Amino acid sequence: MDNKKLAELLFPDVKTTCKDYEEKYKKRALPDGAQVTRFAPSPTGFLHIGGLFAAFVSERAAHTTGGVFYLRIEDTDKKREVENGILGIVKGIRDFGIKIDEGMISETESIGDYAPYIQSKRAQIYRTYCKALTEMGLAYPCFCTAEELQSVREEQEKNKENPGYYGKYAKCRDLSFEQIEEKIKNGVPYVMRLKSPGDENKRIAFDDGIKGRIEMPENILDVVLLKTDGIPTYHFAHAVDDHLMGTTYVIRGDEWISSIPIHLQLFEVLGFKPPKYAHISPIMKEDEETGGKRKLSKRKDPEAAVSFYHEVGYPNKAVLEYLFTIANSNYEQWRLENPDAPMEEFKFDFAHMSKAGALFDLVKLTDISKTYISKLNAEEVLEQVLAWAREYDNDYYTTLMKDTDYSKSIFAIERGNEKPRKDIAKWEDTPQYTKYFFKRPTEYEFPENLSNDDMINILEEYKKVYDHNDTADDWFPKVRDMSEALGYAKAPKFYKKNPEQYKGHVGDVSSVIRVAATGRRNTPDLYQILQVLGKEETMTRFDLAINKLKED
């Protein structure tokens, strides 16, 4: 067969050569050890937490080695595409502060010298490389119909043979030029296949960055390179793109491991240096039904979607911090030793990545988030709460915006000290958490062990001694003295020793004050709450509570 003639017959429009592209996309000049990595999702708009994790790991691998991280959109599967799907991904990773050096930045625009960073715009490139393979006798057209392929599958199943297009099943492998020409003339649809040089008795081996050394049989399948519509398969696009874009380290989900023999073979026949690979196991979840583990599922688990974290308002940094803990087993120890260091200072490496899938743990994320938020100052909290509320809770946004100084003073309570309060995990919790600052209580969780008269008495007395100018140090002794004067023990321990001598203890008294002011028994520091509410409002609330107690 005259392969050159065949290539011309199949690709008459392709005038470009591989050399043109090799020259256009220059080899990257990077320091030794610098890794070029990428995130290469399909534009489905849906960013899975596993995708974010892969993007995060890839970004870290590049930026801790002085390399490059880029975003390539793999839109070869038109069925999976959705409107604005690219934007969802671009925004999804940008919102998490995962910085790309190159690649798509909107539906249509990109930055960087290796454009287009979207596969549908690279058709000419794939066709050029496929033409070159045809010229080398390493690619051929296959006219088999879906029905024919189905019957091959059935036969292989019956004979308990490996599935796929190879050996005697590769019917179009040896078509003559004339046969091909005839079919092309008649407009018979076809795909382009690799003429695999593989030997089923040989094995390949490679060192996976996460999973270690892996050995597999060599590829013997004549896999599809270009589909009927001329669009490349994942395999072919992966080889061509990662070569031309200078990727040194392909980090991706471990569902691709079984395709490694195909990929290494493609790099070989194309004359490309293969990248290193690291395959990430999927993020798992305890399955309540079976008690076992299963993959975090897009359908069953809301937390599988990155949008979930935005909606409920986990701060992005807290989510990233959590991803660090599942990425590297030594991260938590590092965090203990460096409680205030920016997480980017942690030296990520593949050696500390778990071979098995990390178990997703919402409780741990909540804990990390509480610690993260507790370290923010009031201004930062307000800023992030507002950004969340603007998108997800308009009423709350309006409420907070009415008087931002007041709003800030609420978030300043028990913050900025040695041991800040760790009570907010996600912004969604804040409307309820701060409600009583914006709305006078109508329901009261008064202690059950005191009578209404006693409580009225406490509040009346407290109104007399309350001084809004008292410092935090003066405040409590005053409550204590008043308690004693009204017949309450000045400390719980005295009450416990001789309960019959007292009506209760100072804790009951401050509880009455707290509930009168907020409606709740559990709140942050009472002194600070009253300071934020202001004298007038505090007095009004005591009066309202007294009235309520009188009514009941």
- Considering beta carbons, is residue 48 or 503 the nearer one to ligand GLU? 48
- Considering beta carbons, is residue 122 or 252 the nearer one to ligand GLU? 252
In the complex, which residue's CB is closest to ligand GLU? 252
Candidates 40-48, 182-190, 340-348, 450-458: pick the segment binding ligand GLU (CB under 6 A).
40-48
Dist. CA 538–CA 350, nearest whole Å: 57
Backbone angle region of 424, left / alpha / beta, with phi > 0 → left and psi within -120 to 50 → alpha: beta
Candidates 36-44, 100-108, 160-168, 284-292: pick the segment binding ligand GLU (CB under 6 A).
36-44
Candidates 195-203, 250-258, 303-311, 368-376: pick the segment binding ligand GLU (CB under 6 A).
250-258
One-letter amino acid identity for 514?
A: R
- Considering beta carbons, is residue 253 or 431 the nearer one to ligand GLU? 253
Q: How far is the CB of 102 from ligand GLU (least distance, A)?
A: 15
CB-CB neighbours of 398 under 10 Å:
11
Of 149-168, binders to ligand GLU (CB under 6 A) are none
Residue selected from 127, 193, 243, 252 as contacting ligand GLU according to rule CB under 6 A = 252
Which residue is associated with the tokens 């914006």?
438
- Considering beta carbons, is residue 260 or 450 the nearer one to ligand GLU? 260
Instruction: Give yes or no for residue 42 binding ligand GLU (CB under 6 A).
Output: yes
Instruction: Give yes or no for residue 40 binding ligand GLU (CB under 6 A).
Output: yes
Q: Across the strands, what pairs with 295?
A: 284
CA within 13 Å, CB half, 344: 9
Candidates 39-47, 349-357, 482-490, 500-508: pick the segment binding ligand GLU (CB under 6 A).
39-47
Phi, psi of 129 (to 5 degrees): -70, -30
x/- letters, 204..243, toward ligand GLU (CB under 6 A):
----------------------------------x-----
Instruction: Give yes or no for residue 317 binding ligand GLU (CB under 6 A).
Output: no
Give me 177's structure tokens: 């030029």
Residues 6+ apart with CB under 8 A from 346: 324, 328, 331, 334, 335, 338
- 503, 486 in Cβ contact below 8 A? yes
First to last CA, the chain: 101
Instruction: Give yes or no for residue 74 binding ligand GLU (CB under 6 A).
Output: yes
Residues 6+ apart with CB under 8 A from 174: none
Q: With contacts defined by CB under 6 A, how many residues of the chain interact with ligand GLU?
A: 8
Dist. CA 37–CA 60, nearest whole Å: 9
- 304, 49 in Cβ contact below 8 A? yes
Q: How far is the CB of 369 from ligand GLU (least distance, A)?
A: 28
- Considering beta carbons, is residue 238 or 317 the nearer one to ligand GLU? 238
Instruction: Give yes or no for residue 104 binding ligand GLU (CB under 6 A).
Output: no
Instruction: Give yes or no for residue 43 binding ligand GLU (CB under 6 A).
Output: no
Q: Is the peptide bond before 315 cis (omega within 30 degrees of 0)?
A: no
Dist. CA 144–CA 306, nearest whole Å: 41
Residues of the shown chain interacting with ligand GLU in the complex, contacts defined by CB under 6 A: 40-42, 74, 238, 250, 252-253
